[in-house]
Amino acid sequence: MTEIRHNWTKEEILAIYNKPMMELLYDAATIHREHHDPNTVQVSTLLSIKTGGCPEDCGYCPQAARYHTDIEGNDLMSVQQVKAQALRAKSSGSSRVCMGAAWRNVKDGPEFDNVLEMVRTINKLDMEVCCTLGMVTENQAQRLAEAGLYAYNHNLDTSEDYYKDVISTRAFEDRLDTISNVRKTNVTVCSGGIIGMGEAVEDRAGMLVALATLDPQPESVPINALVAVPGTPMEDIEPISIWEMIRMVATTRIVMPQTQVRLSAGRTEMSREGQAMCFFAGANSIFAGDKLLTTPNPDVNEDMKMFELLGLNPQKPFVKKAQPATVEATDSQYQSLGEKPKWTRPEHKIERNEAAKLARKNS
């Protein structure tokens, strides 16, 4: 089983990213199959519960109040509206609802109380609940945890070096502080970033260094391709190629073997073949639904057709990660026979039922 490392360097990650494509794909796919079922993909639905009017100046975001975009703002949705959307998402195959609010940070009061009630309500539907609400304090993170929150999303966006070129109203360290506050609870961490914002490849590696050196590593890492929205400072940036996306997914899979790597924004510009290559390279999570907060996303019916074509199955809720079809017997099982397992390749693994038989034999 591939070792989980927390001491990656930028140079090491760049060397992986720049490997010949076929070698990179092979390495990533091999690691993916060690830790995950390659035919299972976690499906999330992203719901904007409060849109527009954000005081931040993120250069990519159409919800910033200072930019002139066509985004129609709305106040915080009601609990019943959110429940209705969650039921719709569940019927379409989603196991998680991610609620996003265009806030710089969470403020205690009636609106936060309503969000907590939304979390409790969705939990009762036997669905995972994720929130992305901006910065949170340790106390606020704990209140979310007590309400039943499964995951908290707080993206790093890019590398620390390039960060100041993307946003000035919040420091890179602020984002790490929020992740730290979430880590003090039982809530899982979802944190990734965006590529195609004019950054160098070194910045992509730098972002992965920041994520992979966290201990523990994030349970989920969304990889977004910039969707250039008219009215934002990044409106004229040309889209990245699918090959850049595949390289980023594969590299992320290699340096964070147990993490769920999510194909997020930008899928409307990807062909089915391109997405299939991303799944092969280690992506095992997507956002479903026709909109990601404010930007377009493939229709859920089209996604289900793609799943059927590729033989993919939606992951059930509350699964930390999809296990591969074969597993290693534990050290203790073999030590009871006076043996020590020495495997690094799939051919050294045993089938799950054989492991169970061995465990029963020595119990």
* Residue-level pLDDT at 180: 96
Known catalytic residue at 262: yes
Query: Do the bridges between strand 220-225 and strand 193-195 make them parallel or antiparallel, or are there none, so unpaired?
Result: parallel
> What is residue 236's DSSP assignment?
T
Q: How does pLDDT run across 159-179, given as a tens digit for each residue?
A: 999 999 998 888 899 999 999
What is the mean pLDDT of the segment spanning 39-56?
84
Catalytic residue among 190, 204, 247, 253: 190
Query: What is the C-alpha to C-alpha distance for residues 1 and 3, in angstroms, rounded to an integer?
Result: 6
Q: Tell me which amino acid residue 109 is.
A: G
- The values of phi and psi at residue 132, to 5°, are -135, 100
Q: How does pLDDT run across 104-135, given as a tens digit for each residue?
A: 888 999 999 999 999 999 999 999 999 999 99
Q: Tell me which amino acid residue 243 is.
A: W
Q: Comparing 225 with 319, which gets the higher pLDDT?
A: 225
Round the average pLDDT of the chain to a whole number and report it. 84
Catalytic residue among 130, 183, 204, 253: 130
Known catalytic residue at 131: no
Q: Tell me which amino acid residue 30 is.
A: T
Strand partners, 141: none
Domains belonging to the chain, first-starting first, are: 10-314 (3.20.20.70), 327-361 (no CATH)
State yes or no: pLDDT of 354 exceeds 90. no
Query: What is the C-alpha to C-alpha distance for residues 169 and 68, in angstroms, rounded to an integer?
Result: 18
Q: How does pLDDT run across 309-339, given as a tens digit for each residue?
A: 999 998 988 876 656 654 443 343 333 334 3
Residues 263 and 242: beta-carbon distance below 8 Å: no
Known catalytic residue at 98: yes
What is the mean pLDDT of the segment spanning 344-357?
38
State yes or no: pLDDT of 197 exceeds 60. yes
In the chain the first and final C-alpha atoms are separated, in Å, by 24
Known catalytic residue at 278: no
Catalytic residue among 143, 170, 183, 262: 262
Question: Sorting pLDDT into bands at 50, 70 and 90, what band is 345?
Answer: very low
Backbone dihedral region for residue 314 (phi beyond 0: left; psi -120 to 50: alpha; all else: beta): beta
Q: What percent of the chain has pLDDT over 90?
A: 56
* Residue-level pLDDT at 123: 92
Query: What is the C-alpha to C-alpha distance for residues 287 and 43, in angstroms, rounded to an integer?
Result: 6
* Residue-level pLDDT at 267: 82
